Amino acid sequence: MTATAEDLLAEARAVLDRVEPAAAEELRQAGALVVDIRPIANRAAEGEIPGAVPVERIVLEWRLDPHGEFRLPGLTADRPVIIVCNEGYASSLAARDAQRLGLRRATDLVGGFRGWQAAGLPVVPGGTPAVP
């Protein structure tokens, strides 16, 4: 049987403890790693979450493998990771994949970056190049 994109999204969200923007800000302040998977054009136009690490979706699994040689600096299996996209859809799929890699505390941001911005949380000018 073939799954739809909506099926995959529902399956991913069933295993995530998704965070609302205010809770994500608290986690960020406490040292959670925020990973922004939005394209550079969106980051440049809309801004970025302070301290977020931009990672292109095409290399995300390599950067989020806590045991891989290409993992992000400071990444451990126990560190909270919040994945952010535009509106909180692609990030759910990515967070589920991050959990499969062993990041048991990986999740995503409800509403994505736009939900964060609408909540009045801090935003800095964007366009930071993605981690290669």
Q: Does the predicted model carry a pTM greater than 0.75?
A: yes
Q: With beta carbons less than 8 A apart as the criterion, state whether 33 and 80 touch.
A: yes
Q: Hunting for tokens 């400071």 — which residue is that? A: 74
Domain harbouring 73, CATH code: 3.40.250.10
The pLDDT > 70 percentage for the chain reads 100
Number of C-beta neighbours around residue 3 at 10 A: 10
Alpha carbon distances (Å) from 1 to 4, 7, 94: 10, 12, 23
φ/ψ of 127, rounded to 5, equals 105, 10
Amino acid identity, position 33: L
Which pLDDT score, from 0 to 100, does residue 132 have? 77
Contacts of 44 (CB under 8 A, 6+ apart): 126, 127
Is 42 a member of any domain? yes
- Report the pLDDT value the prediction gives residue 17, as an integer from 0 to 100: 96
Instruction: Identify the domain containing residue 39 by its residue range.
Output: 20-118
Tens of pLDDT, residue by residue over 61-73, are 999 999 999 999 9
CB 55 within 8 A of CB 82: no
Q: How many domains does the structure of the chain reveal?
A: 1
* Per-residue pLDDT, 130: 87
**83-122 per-position pLDDT tens digit:** 999 999 999 999 999 999 999 999 999 999 999 999 999 9
